[in-house]
Amino acid sequence: MAATAKEVSATGLVDAKGSSGRPKRRQWPARLKRRIVAETLAPGASVSVVARRHDVNANQLFKWRREMAAEAPPAATESVAMLPVEIVAEPSAARRPERARRSGTIEITFAGGARVCVRGEVSAETLQRVIELLR
């Protein structure tokens, strides 16, 4: 028994497999990948800035984006409400009242950068609603 107590295991000291000494690759959980990719999809986000923030190579992040884009369901499978459309012949110019034959252009630019161009005849109520919505 005394002889076995003095023996030391060298398993942790010797690399019996002969590995190259390179560190193992990091394993990224899928949930974390999706969260990081979602950050890059935000308006104005920079992939390289997000990659640096999470200590990921930008090329790796672009690869994750491509992979996750392939996983996303196509837009055609989403439910889209279809509206009925009816095509009717345009009334002849002779039957149009004088007021409808007038044409012109009104262009309104708001302080916030919104711009409205109105060509032709538009009712005052419609124009008022548009202006109220853009304020």
Please write the tens of the pLDDT for every residue from 104-117: 677 777 777 777 77
What pLDDT score does 117 carry? 77
User: What does the longest C-alpha to C-alpha distance in the chain come to?
Assistant: 119
Residue 114's pLDDT is what?
A: 75
Q: 83: buried, middle or exposed (CB in 10 Å: 19+, 13-18, 0-12)?
A: exposed
Could you tell me which residues are beta bridge partners of residue 4? Answer: none
Contacts for 60 with CB less than 8 Å, ≥ 6 apart = 51
Give alpha helix (H) positions in 6-117.
30-40, 47-53, 58-71, 98-101
- Position 103 pLDDT exceeds 80: no
For 116, phi then psi, to 5°, come to -125, 125
Phi-psi region of 120 (alpha: psi -120 to 50; beta: other; left: phi over 0): left
Of the candidates 131, 115, 135, the one whose C-alpha atom is nearest the C-alpha of residue 123 is 131
Question: Which residue would you say has higher pLDDT here, 25 or 112?
Answer: 25
pLDDT band at residue 61 using 50, 70 and 90 as cut-offs: very high
Read off φ and ψ for residue 93, nearest 5 degrees. -65, -25
Residue 92: per-residue pLDDT: 67
Q: What is the reported pLDDT for 59?
A: 94
> Tens of pLDDT along 75-89?
555 666 777 878 787
Q: What is the pLDDT at residue 73? A: 63
- Give the chain's mean pLDDT: 75
What's the confidence (pLDDT) of residue 11? 55
Q: Which residue has the higher pLDDT, 41 or 115?
A: 41
